[in-house]
């Protein structure tokens, strides 16, 4: 084992370093490799274990297999509606256009989606999607996707082995390796320097690694571990968000954190674990302690016309969607999460502080086991609940961050030359609230674009910059910094600090927010930031989880600061950001994205950026009445023009 | 809340042993919760591999009272109130530290299997498969790669020397999956026997017993693959047929991917 | 691994001296299996070497252990397929053709292989219990390759089970006063035949031959239907395996007791 005193650093040279081996990371790596770039994939856990495996419901793509009326424009419209018009329209457009191709490509690589009667990929209903649109495999779609991408990487390695004699000649996976610093060169006060490498450590033996590479793709996922109740795994410590900030990139929309409406609430040890939205898509209903289907009371004005008003109408929709409006259980996630929160707060909750999600009285037991096998298994094993016979207890759980690195839609490039981002760590695509199913397709569409973007950036560079000296210097600095936690023997226990951070974020910057509470949160975060420098991890460097947590905590604190600062600034409620003290949605705020940057001491600053306008031909997809609920007067197109365009778009 | 005695294997490849802890246990907790409590309160450097804590990623494989299991899916309520809980790392793979093993054997074996090979004339979107066609393989694709089946398989658990020639239930199941794919054109039957060691399997079903996903590995993957191997290699009638009719085109082993050997 | 790599990976397993840390009664299963198999083997051996008490002329009850009866000594009515022109010396089973086939069918059966590999060969005795052998080659060596012939024993067993079915049906038409009749012996033989078919049809090779070997079920709906029915039976292959050897012994014992005059057949109808 390497001594703790003399950091020995393994050096690698690659064209593209992809940080993160989930859906976005693997898709980016495949794209970069297919462009002939030597690519490294850095995975914090074992290869194939990334958080993508947790995705259950499916991948949204307007294939039109289940309903021939579906097409990318409808998907685009649903996405914008779900995001409450704050989405980057170009990203939403690319996503809706390219998702079908990406899904079919997965199938071509060996993914086995559920089928329709005529042998195509079957699609299921999901919250916020007008048509059945989610390509799925039971309720384990994420696993299918990660496995397929993993096997595609292996296939490429086999091709390289045959051609070049070495399977890792052009694509190599560094499992159980975490990046703690991006290395940049040049740059001045205003403009960030360009990427020349990345530094990190191997979990298995505690050894340090440095990658000299002109392009880095961030695909690190989200930030959920900053919250107490979360569906996210330990990996979601906001590494990519923090790395980007420290490298000089900006994050946008960080105030928008999605609380999935249905997480398990009991037993305490599994609190937060996800209950897939497919339960509702396949007929499950939400009831309060009085047995009332309360979602009918929570349909907001902007969605009034699309959702059923009676139980009969709602129940008719599953079999005959053309002549019925959708059940309100399938409202976008932010609406359902808030409704559950209110029911519990007003005393109509279930025994363990959630509400009831019932599918047992809606489908035959056999059908439930077939459609929702892993949910059945999960409740049976973890909560002793048989979902075919009794309702589940569910409540909101921190699930996804809409905010992330501000990137160019077409290339996934950030402000920092050579730095790209895709997947959850990138911001803009989902606006203020992500629709279920749009995440898996997002990973594929923008993962690929990031890999191609990085490859194109390299081609544009001409030669490979010689940055060896810069990289080595930064690496030895970073190594000394990382070792610090092992040496300060009497510092704080990282587990305690982590628990305090989670309390702070959950209680003060959670699903319902208030100005004074968030001010208090910022103060606490300042204090936590200071304490996070004084952590101590006993033991040596070999697979030492205390040390790993200590290294991740400053990232979580920084990201929490970004979330809190942005949430305090935005004085309205929209999507994944609900202000008790500013309950309304403001057309003026709709035009603004908040961008967070940080300084050398991890302090964050905010700037306001205009949200790009939706191109006129796409704006025409929406009814004038609907637009009037979101946009300011001067943004609204001429009434007549709008109506005409709407007809055109729907024909 | 109650106090329980936990015996956890601590150490590395150089040596180690069971360390005893008294630890608090609450209602509804699983073994992984208790290991986390040990980390947070008594021994911060206890090495445990885990990710999702919901039985979906297959990272937290250990042996609990001798049974290969996921620690996140083993509820404390399955033990007697005064039962001592013994947690050890998987025995088949080299131990990194405490409960964490080096599972690279599995990734090497994955790389040796010729990948999915669709008809080159087909393009993405051309596949037409019925639900009944994909269902059989979907069962195998439920696999979360926890490697408990490979861990429990006596072929390599008790015989290190077999690792080089045997891919373990997980990857023989992967071969079976590819062989059953209606759109696949490769023929891996011969190498399933000669390279991946199908013949070592004596169908004693421990893989199926420990599978946390309840995949019927032996009945649905391994035995059907043995039957397909018999078609290709051991059935005189089929052999005769292939002499007269179309000859089977065996897919060769993947070149240059190396083989697993116990690094020294 | 590329040469620049310096990851220090461990090479040795955790050294845990105990053979297993299992605390349950993992040895119980193998013991019961051994006892069960031993009972059958001993009983069947004694009976087939006995060359007697296999046939009840009045009701045409023929024990499956002697079917088809082919020795010259066989009772003419019991020899469904006729007799060989040779007299079998002592200790030669009268069903000389069918018995070895049935024995090999069961010996190469995927369930029984598991059973005897575990309980008799102890490879492994139980899951996660260290096995006592120093080396292991499984079914890769020439002697063991015969296991791959299971399908041929299945084809033959299919025919023999057909003969057993015929034996069973004939007995229904030999009531006490001639014509149709039912006795306890008929019922026992019927149950036995059902169990034999259950065991034979739930065979893994059968499942493969009828549909498992196909890659596209969608284009072969009939074979898919057969495959899925056989798969349902196949889930219970072990159960049929044990029930069928139990009913074989019961059938044989009952017929032997009547044939030897120890008891009378219990007649239900005629």
Chain B's closest residue to A175, CA to CA, is B104
Range(s) of the domain holding residue C214: 26-269
Contact A426, A407 (CB under 8 A): yes
Return the minimum-mean-pLDDT range out of A197-201, A386-390, B246-250.
B246-250
Q: What is the pLDDT of residue A56?
A: 87
Most distant CA atoms of chain A, gap in Å:
74
User: Is residue C6 scored above 90 in pLDDT?
Assistant: no
Q: Tell me what the mean pLDDT of segment A178-189 comes to.
A: 92
**In chain A, which among 189-248 make CB contacts under 8 A with chain C?**
202, 204-205, 207
Percentages helix, strand, coil for chain A, rounded to the nearest 5? 45, 15, 40
Q: How far is C179 from chain B (nearest CA, A)?
A: 45
pLDDT tens by residue, C153-173 = 999 999 999 999 999 999 999
Q: How confident is the model at residue A435 (pLDDT cuts 50, 70, 90)?
A: very high
Hey, which chains touch B, using 3+ CB pairs under 8 Å? A, C
Task: Tell me whether residue A301 is exposed, middle or buried, using C-beta atoms within 10 angstroms of its C-beta: 0 to 12, 13 to 18, 19 or more.
Answer: exposed
pLDDT over 60 (residue B262): no
Q: Among candidates A503, A478, A496, which has minimal Cα distance to A532?
A: A496
For residue A218 the two structure tokens come to 């961030």
| Confidence class for position B264, pLDDT limits 50, 70, 90 | very low
Q: Which domains does chain B have, with CATH numbers?
A: 2-101 (3.10.20.30), 104-243 (1.10.1060.10)
For the residues B19-46, what does the mean pLDDT come to? 94
> Is B259's pLDDT higher than 90?
no
Confidence of residue A645 (pLDDT cuts 50, 70, 90): low
CATH number attached to the domain at A7-256+402-612: 3.50.50.60
Q: How many residues does chain C have?
A: 270
pLDDT in tens, A12-42: 999 999 999 999 999 999 999 999 999 999 9
Confidence of residue A4 (pLDDT cuts 50, 70, 90): very low
Structure token digits, residue B228: 């397909």
User: For a pLDDT cut of 70, what percent of chain C falls above it?
Assistant: 97
The reply to whether B196 touches chain C by the CB within 8 Å rule is no
Q: Is A11 on the interface with C (CB under 8 A)?
A: yes
Partners of residue A263 on adjacent β-strands: A274, A395
Residues A591-619: pLDDT tens digits?
Answer: 999 999 999 899 999 999 999 999 999 99
Residue C20 lies in a domain: no
Contact assignment for A46 to B59 by CB distance below 8 Å:
yes
Residues of chain A with C-beta less than 8 angstroms from the C-beta of B129: 112, 115, 119
Nearest to C2 among A1, A168, A202 (CB): A168
B 198-227 residues inside an 8 A Cβ radius of C: 199-206, 209-210, 218-219, 223-224, 226-227
Of A22, A112, A151, which to mutate for an interface test with B (greatest number of B Cβ within 10 Å)?
Answer: A112
Q: Which of A260, A333, A448, A524 is catalytic?
A: A260
B200 and C140 in contact by Cβ < 8 A?
yes
Mean pLDDT of chain C: 94
Chains that touch C (3 or more CB pairs under 8 A): A, B
Instruction: Report if residue C81 sits inside a domain.
Output: yes
- What tokens were used for A646? 């709407």
How confident is the model over C32-75, as pLDDT tens digits?
A: 999 999 999 999 999 999 999 999 999 999 999 999 999 999 99
Q: How are strands ordered across the β-sheet holding A194-202?
A: A9-13, A208-212, A194-202, A177-185
CA–CA dist A103, A113 (Å, integer): 9
Contact partners, residue C37, CB within 8 Å, separation at least 6:
C115, C116, C119, C120
Per DSSP, the three-state class of A208 is strand
Q: Taking CB atoms and an 8 Å cutoff, what residues of chain B touch C205? A: 227
Average pLDDT rounded to a whole number, residues A499-509:
96
Q: Say yes or no to pLDDT of C182 above 90.
A: yes
Region of poorest pLDDT, from A111-115, A317-321, A367-371, A637-641: A637-641
The torsion defined by the Cα of A202, A204, A207 and A211, in degrees rounded to 10, comes to -20
Q: Is A324 a catalytic residue?
A: no
Q: Which of C12, C138, C206 to mutate to test the interface with B (most CBs of B within 10 A)?
A: C138
At A649, the pLDDT band (50, 70, 90 cuts) reads: low
In this prediction, residue A2 carries a pLDDT of 40
Compute the mean pLDDT over every residue in chain B, rounded to the nearest whole number.
94
User: Hey, which bits of chain C come out as E strands?
Assistant: 55-56, 61-62, 182-183, 267-269
What are the tokens at B245? 């009719």
| Calpha distance C250→C255 (Å, rounded) | 8
Nearest CA in chain C to A10: C6
Query: What are the chain A neighbours of C217 within 8 Å (beta carbons)?
Result: none
In three-state secondary structure terms, A452 is: helix
**A374 pLDDT exceeds 60?**
yes
Q: In Å, how far are A73, A132, A524, A537, B48 from A502, measured between CA atoms? A: 40, 37, 11, 19, 22
Angle between helices A438-461 and A141-164 (to 10 degrees): 30
Classify A262-397 by CATH class: alpha beta
Q: Would you give the DSSP letter of residue A5?
A: S
Rounded to an integer, the average pLDDT of B180-204 is 97
Q: What is the pLDDT of residue C8?
A: 63
Q: What is the mean pLDDT of residues B51-69?
A: 95
CA torsion, ordered A519, A525, A530, A536, to nearest 10 deg: 160
Asked if B206 lies within 8 A of C136 by C-beta distance, the reply is no
Residue C241 placed within a domain = yes
Going by C-beta distance under 8 Å and a sequence separation of 6 or more, which residues neighbour residue B78? Answer: none
Among C135, C137, C217, beta carbon nearest to B133: C217
How would you class C68 by CB atoms within 10 Å of its CB: exposed for 0-12, middle for 13-18, buried for 19 or more?
buried
Query: Are B202 and C145 inside 8 Å of each other by CB?
Result: no
The answer to whether the CB of B260 falls within 8 A of the CB of B108 is yes
Question: Among A184-193, C16-25, C177-186, C214-223, which stretch is predicted with the lowest mean pLDDT?
Answer: A184-193
B252 close contact with C: CB closer than 8 A: no
CA of B54 vs chain A CAs: smallest distance (Å)? 7
From the list C93, C59, C84, the residue with the least C-alpha distance to C269 is C59
Q: Return the pLDDT at A7.
A: 63
Cα(A7)–Cα(A206) distance, integer angstroms: 10
**Residue A120 at interface with chain C, using a CB cutoff of 8 Å:** no
Q: What is the pLDDT of residues A288-338, one digit of tens each?
A: 999 999 999 999 988 899 999 999 999 999 888 889 999 999 998 889 999
C-beta atoms of B47 and A233 within 8 A? no
Q: Counting beta carbons within 10 angstroms of the beta carbon of residue B194, is it exposed (0 to 12), middle (13 to 18) or buried (19 or more)?
A: middle
Give chains near A: 3+ CB pairs under 8 A.
Answer: B, C
The closest CB to that of B91, out of C13, C140, C144, belongs to C13
| Angstroms from A352 CA to nearest CA on chain B | 13
pLDDT score recorded for residue C1:
36
Cβ of A12 within 8 Å of Cβ of C7? The answer is: no
Three-class SS of A10-61: EEEECCEEEECCCHHHHHHHHHHHHCCCCEEEECCCCCCCCHHHHCCCCEEC
Question: Which of these, A556, A578, A575, A568, lies nearest to A521 by C-alpha position?
Answer: A568
Please judge whether C13 and B95 are an interchain contact, meaning their C-beta atoms are less than 8 angstroms apart. Answer: yes
| Cis geometry, peptide bond prior to residue A38 (ω within 30 degrees of 0) | no
Residue B261, pLDDT score: 73
In a domain, C156, yes or no: yes
pLDDT tens per residue across span C243-255? 999 999 999 999 9
Q: Which of A280, A326, A338, A376 is catalytic?
A: A280
Looking at chain C, which residue has its C-alpha nearest residue B90?
A: C14
Provide the residue ranges of all domains of chain A, joining segments of one domain with +.
7-256+402-612, 262-397, 623-650
Is C136 in contact with B224 (Cβ distance < 8 A)? Answer: no
- Say if residues C59 and C43 touch (Cβ distance below 8 Å): no
Structure tokens at C111: 């369930």
A258-297 pLDDT, tens digit each: 999 999 998 888 899 999 988 998 899 999 999 999 999 9
Number of domains in chain C: 1
Residue C100 within a domain = yes
- B164 has a chain C CB within 8 A of its CB: no
Q: Does position C118 have pLDDT exceeding 80, yes or no?
A: yes
Give yes or no: A579 in active site. Answer: no
Q: Does B187 touch chain C (CB under 8 A)?
A: no
Out of B65, B96, B229, name the one closest to residue C10 (CB): B96
- The label of the residue with tokens 């914090």 reads A44
CB–CB of A538 and B33 under 8 A? no
Q: Which of A8, A12, A205 sits opposite C4 (nearest CB)?
A: A12
Q: Tell me how close the Cα of B121 comes to any Cα of chain A, in angstroms.
A: 12
Percent of residues, chain A, with pLDDT higher than 90: 87
Interface contact A539-B12, CB threshold 8 A: no
Do C117 and B262 make contact, defined as CB atoms within 8 angstroms? no
Residue A126 φ/ψ, nearest 5 degrees: -155, 160
Q: A136: nearest CA in chain B?
A: B138
Q: Give the model's confidence band at A648: pLDDT under 50 very low, under 70 low, under 90 confident, else very high.
A: low
Please check whether residue A495 is in contact with residue A532, taking contact to mean a CB–CB distance below 8 angstroms: no
Residue C204 lies in a domain: yes
Over residues A243-247, the mean pLDDT reads: 98
**Any C CB within 8 A of A166 CB:** yes
CB < 8 Å to A164, chain C:
none
Task: For residue C9, give how far its alpha carbon lies from the nearest alpha carbon of chain A (Å).
Answer: 7
- For C217, nearest residue in chain B (alpha carbons): B133
Q: Is B82 on the interface with C (CB under 8 A)?
A: no
User: What does the alpha-carbon distance between residue C135 and residue C129 come to, in Å, rounded to a whole number?
Assistant: 16
CA C142 to chain CA centroid, Å, is 24
3-state SS class at A201: strand
Listed in order, strand segments (DSSP E) in chain B are 2-12, 15-25, 61-64, 67-70, 85-88, 95-97, 100-101
Q: How confident is the model at residue A487 (pLDDT cuts 50, 70, 90)?
A: confident
Q: Which of A205, A206, A210 to mutate to test the interface with C (most CBs of C within 10 A)?
A: A205
Cβ contact, residue pair B63, C133, below 8 Å: no
**ipTM of this complex prediction, to 2 decimal places:** 0.96
User: Vertex B211, ends B210 and B212: CA angle to 5°?
Assistant: 105
- Collapsing DSSP to helix, strand or coil, B213 comes out as coil
- CB < 8 Å to C5, chain A: 10
Partner-chain residue, chosen from C1, C4, C9, that has the shortest CB–CB distance to A204: C9
C3 is a domain residue: no
The chain B residue lying nearest C22, using CA atoms, is B66
CB contact under 8 A, C2 and A172: yes
């Amino acid at each position: 084992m390497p001594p703790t005193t003399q950091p020995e650093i393994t050096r690698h040279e690659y064209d593209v370093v992809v940080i993160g081996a989930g859906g976005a990371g693997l898709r980016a790596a495949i794209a970069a490799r297919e462009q002939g770039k030597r690519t490294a994939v850095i995975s914090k856990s074992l290869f194939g274990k990334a958080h993508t495996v947790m995705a259950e419901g499916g991948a949204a793509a307007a294939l039109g297999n289940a309903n021939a009326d579906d097409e990318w424009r409808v998907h685009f419209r649903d996405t914008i509606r779900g995001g409450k018009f704050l989405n980057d329209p170009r990203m939403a457009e690319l996503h809706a256009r390219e998702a079908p191709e990406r899904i079919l490509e997965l199938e071509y690589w060996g993914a086995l989606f559920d089928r329709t009667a005529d042998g195509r990929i079957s699609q299921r209903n999901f919250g916020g999607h007008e048509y059945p649109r989610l390509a799925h495999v039971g309720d384990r779609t994420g696993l299918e996707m990660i496995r397929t991408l993993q096997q595609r990487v292996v296939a490429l390695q086999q091709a390289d082995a045959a051609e070049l004699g070495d399977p890792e000649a052009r694509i190599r996976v560094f499992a159980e390796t975490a990046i703690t610093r991006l290395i940049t060169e040049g740059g001045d006060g205003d403009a960030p320097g360009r990427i020349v490498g990345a530094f990190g450590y191997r979990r298995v033996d505690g050894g340090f690694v440095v990658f000299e590479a002109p392009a880095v793709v961030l695909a690190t996922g989200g930030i959920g571990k900053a919250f107490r109740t979360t569906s996210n795994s330990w990996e979601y410590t906001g590494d990519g968000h923090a790395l980007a900030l420290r490298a000089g990139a900006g994050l946008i929309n960080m105030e928008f954190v999605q609380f999935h409406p249905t997480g398990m609430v009991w037993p305490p040890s599994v609190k937060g674990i996800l209950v897939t939205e497919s339960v509702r898509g396949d007929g499950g209903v939400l009831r309060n302690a009085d047995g009332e289907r309360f979602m009918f009371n929570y349909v907001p004005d902007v969605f009034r016309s699309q959702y059923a008003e009676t139980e009969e109408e709602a129940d008719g929709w599953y079999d005959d969607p053309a002549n019925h409006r959708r059940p309100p259980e399938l409202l976008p996630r932010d609406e359902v999460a808030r409704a559950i929160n209110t029911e519990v707060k007003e005393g109509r909750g279930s025994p363990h502080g959630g509400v009831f999600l019932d599918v047992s009285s809606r489908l035959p037991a056999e059908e439930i086991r077939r459609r929702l096998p892993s949910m059945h298994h999960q409740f049976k094993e973890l909560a002793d609940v048989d979902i075919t016979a009794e309702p589940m207890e569910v409540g909101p759980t921190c699930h996804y961050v809409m905010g992330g690195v501000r990137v160019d839609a077409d290339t996934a490039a950030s402000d920092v030359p050579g730095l790209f981002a895709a997947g959850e760590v990138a911001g803009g695509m989902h606006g203020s609230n992500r629709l279920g199913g749009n995440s898996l397709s997002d990973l594929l569409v923008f993962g690929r674009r990031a890999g191609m973007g990085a490859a194109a950036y390299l081609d544009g560079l001409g030669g490979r910059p010689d940055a060896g000296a810069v990289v080595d210097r930064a690496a030895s600095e970073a190594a000394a910094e990382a070792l610090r936690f092992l040496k300060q023997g009497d510092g704080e226990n990282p587990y305690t600090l982590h628990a305090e951070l989670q309390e702070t974020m959950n209680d003060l910057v959670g699903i319902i927010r208030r100005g004074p509470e968030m001010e208090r949160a910022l103060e606490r975060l300042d204090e936590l930031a200071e304490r996070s420098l004084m952590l101590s991890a006993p033991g040596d460097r070999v697979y030492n989880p205390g040390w790993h947590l200590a290294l991740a905590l400053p990232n979580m604190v920084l990201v929490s600061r970004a979330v809190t600062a942005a949430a305090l600034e935005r004085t309205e409620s929209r999507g994944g950001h609900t202000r008790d003290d500013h309950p309304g949605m403001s057309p003026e705020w709709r035009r603004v994205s908040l961008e967070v940057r940080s300084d050398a001491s991890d302090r964050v600053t905010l700037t306001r950026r205009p949200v790009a306008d939706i191109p006129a031909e796409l704006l025409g997809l929406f009814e004038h009445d609907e637009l009037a609920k979101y946009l300011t007067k001067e943004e609204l197109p001429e009434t007549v023009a709008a109506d005409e365009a709407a007809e055109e778009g729907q024909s | 809340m109650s106090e329980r005695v936990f015996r956890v294997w601590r150490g590395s490849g150089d040596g180690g042993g069971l360390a005893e802890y008294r630890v608090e246990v609450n209602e509804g907790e699983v073994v992984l919760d208790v290991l986390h409590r040990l980390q947070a309160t008594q021994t911060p450097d206890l090495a445990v591999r885990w990710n999702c804590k919901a039985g979906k990623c297959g990272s937290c494989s250990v042996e609990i009272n001798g049974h290969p299991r996921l620690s996140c899916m083993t509820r404390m309520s399955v033990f007697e109130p005064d039962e001592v809980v013994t947690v050890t790392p998987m025995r088949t793979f080299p131990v990194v530290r405490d409960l964490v093993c080096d599972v690279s054997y599995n990734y090497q074996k994955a790389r040796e299997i010729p990948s999915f090979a669709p008809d080159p004339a087909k393009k993405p979107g051309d596949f037409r498969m019925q639900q009944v066609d994909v269902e059989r393989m979907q069962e195998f694709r439920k696999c979360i790669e926890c490697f408990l089946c490979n861990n429990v398989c006596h072929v390599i658990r008790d015989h290190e020397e077999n690792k080089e020639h045997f891919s373990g239930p997980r990857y023989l199941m992967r071969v079976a999956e590819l062989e059953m794919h209606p759109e696949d054109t490769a023929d891996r039957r011969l190498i399933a026997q000669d390279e991946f060691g199908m013949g070592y399997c004596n169908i004693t079903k421990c893989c199926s017993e420990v599978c946390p996903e309840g995949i019927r590995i032996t009945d649905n993957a391994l035995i059907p693959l043995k039957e397909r191997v018999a078609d290709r290699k051991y059935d005189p009638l089929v052999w005769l047929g292939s002499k007269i009719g179309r000859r089977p085109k065996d897919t060769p082993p993947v070149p240059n991917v190396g083989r697993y050997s116990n690094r020294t | 691994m590329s040469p620049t790599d310096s990851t220090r990976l461990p090479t040795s397993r955790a050294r845990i001296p105990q053979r297993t840390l299992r605390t349950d009664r993992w040895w119980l299963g193998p013991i019961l299996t051994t006892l069960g198999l031993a009972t059958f083997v001993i009983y069947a051996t004694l009976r087939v070497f006995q060359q007697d008490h296999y046939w009840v002329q009045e009701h045409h009850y023929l024990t499956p252990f002697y079917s088809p009866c082919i020795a010259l000594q066989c009772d003419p009515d019991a020899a469904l397929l006729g007799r060989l022109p040779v007299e079998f010396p002592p200790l030669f089973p009268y069903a000389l053709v069918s018995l070895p086939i049935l024995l090999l069918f069961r010996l190469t059966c995927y369930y029984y292989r598991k059973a005897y590999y575990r309980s008799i060969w102890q490879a492994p005795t139980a899951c996660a219990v260290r096995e006592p052998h120093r080396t292991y080659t499984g079914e890769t060596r020439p002697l063991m390759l015969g296991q791959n012939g299971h399908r041929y024993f299945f084809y033959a067993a299919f025919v023999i089970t057909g003969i057993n079915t015929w034996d069973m049906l004939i007995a229904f038409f030999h009531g006490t006063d001639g014509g149709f009749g039912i006795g306890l012996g008929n019922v026992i033989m019927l149950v036995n035949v059902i169990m034999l078919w259950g065991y034979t049809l739930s065979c893994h090779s059968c499942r493969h031959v009828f549909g498992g070997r196909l890659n596209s079920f969608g284009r072969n709906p009939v074979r898919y239907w057969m495959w899925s029915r056989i798969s349902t039976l196949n889930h219970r292959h072990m159960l049929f395996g044990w029930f069928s050897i139990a009913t074989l012994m019961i059938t044989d014992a009952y017929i032997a007791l009547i044939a030897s005059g120890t008891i009378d057949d219990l007649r239900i109808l005629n």
